[in-house]
A = this chain, B = another copy of it.
Amino acid sequence: MKAGFVGLGSMGLPMARNLLKAGHEITVYNRSHERAELLRAEGAQLAGSPADASEAGIVFTMLADDVAVEEVVFGDRGIAAGAKNALHVSMSTISAAMSRRLAAAHRERGQSYVAAPVFGRPEAAAAAKLTIVAGGERGAVERCRPLLEALGQKVYVVGEQPWQANTLKIGGNFLIGSMLEALGEAFALMRKSDIDPALFLEIVNGNLFRSPVYENYGRAMLAGTFEPPGFKLRLGLKDVRLALAASDETATPMPFASLLRDHFLSGVARGYGEIDWSALAKVIAEDAGLK
C-alpha cells in the first residue's frame, strides 16, 4: 500500500521504517530534513510538505503534542490543505479536544480521520510491538488496518469517535504516572525507615504485582539515574494535563491526576523537566528531606 508519514522522531522513525520493511511505499516528511534522508536510503520517497505526503491517500502523523499536530495539519501546506480524499491517521498522544477538532476539520474537507495512539517505547516501535488503540468510522479504520498491523502487535478498536482512542491512551498514561507517584512515596517511606527499597520492590513486585512496569520504573528509581530519559518529565506533565483536560470536559474529578500535576510541575520548577519522568521519586524524596 501507499502511505505518507509525517514526524520522524524517536517513535516515528522506526515506525516508518517498519512500514517500508513490510513492503509498503512510504513517502515521508519531517521538519528537520536529516531524519527524512535516513529513510530515503531505505527506500522512502521524500515529500516537500505534509500536504504532499497526504497525496499517498493515507497519511500518518506521529508528533510531540497538540501544537505540533496543529502546525502539521492546519499550517502552511498542511494536511488539511492536502489530498481531498486523504485519510489522516493521527498516532500522537494528543488531547481529546484536538482530536475532535481534527475530526471536524477533515470531515468538512471530505477527508477521513482515524485517531490511533500507541502504547510502547521506541524499542517497542522498532520491534513492531506497539499496542495500537484506534478510534474512527469502521470503514476508515479498516482502510488503514493493514498498515497499523505492520506497526504493532495488536490493534484495538475503541469506538466510532476518534477522540475516544485519545482518552483511552491518556487514561493509560495516567495509570503509569500514578504508579510512579505511589512507588516514589513508598520508596521515600522505606528510606526514611532504614529499609532497603530494593528489598521492598523485590517483595511487593515479585510476589504481588508481578508487573514489568513496576519492575522497570522501580529499578530506575533505585538506581537514581534519570538520564538519558526514556520519557521526559515535562512530557509526563503534558500527559497529566491531557488527563485533567479530559476530566474537565467530562466532569470527572480525578484527584490523583491533580496531585500528579502539582508534583510534575514542581519537578519542572526544580529543573527536572528534561530528565526521566520517574524523577518524580526525586521530587518526593526531596519533600521528605532526603538528600
Q: How many whole Å from A259's CB to the nearest CB in chain B?
A: 5
**Assembly of this chain: how many copies?**
4
A61 within 8 A of B: no
Asked if A243 and B172 make an inter-chain contact with CB atoms under 8 angstroms apart, the answer reads: no
Flag if B186 contacts A171 (CB, 8 Å).
yes
Contacts of A171 in B (CB 8 A): 186, 189-190, 200, 204
Whether B262 and A289, one on each chain, are in contact in the complex, defined by CB atoms closer than 8 angstroms, is no
* A178 proximity list for chain B (CB < 8 A): 178-179, 181-182, 256
Quick one: CB contact mask for A235-253 with B, threshold 8 Å, 1 for yes? 0000001010011101111
Q: Which stretch (A24-32, A152-160, A222-230) binds chain B? A: A152-160
Q: Pick the contact of A270 from B156, B189, B200, B289 — CB < 8 Å? A: B289
Residues of chain B lying within 8 A (CB to CB) of residue A252: 185, 188-189, 192, 265, 269, 288
B contact residues around A209 at 8 Å (CB): 175, 209, 211-213
Residues 111-148 of chain A, each 1 if its beta carbon lies under 8 Å from chain B, else 0: 00000000100000000000101000000000000000
Which of chain B's residues has its CB closest to A164's CB?
B195
Q: Which of under 10, 10 to 19, 20 to 34, or 35 or more describes the interface residues of A?
A: 35 or more
Q: What would 14 A/B residue contacts be, using CB atoms closer than 8 Å?
A: A119-B207, A156-B203, A167-B193, A175-B204, A176-B208, A185-B255, A189-B252, A193-B250, A252-B269, A253-B265, A255-B259, A255-B262, A258-B261, A266-B289
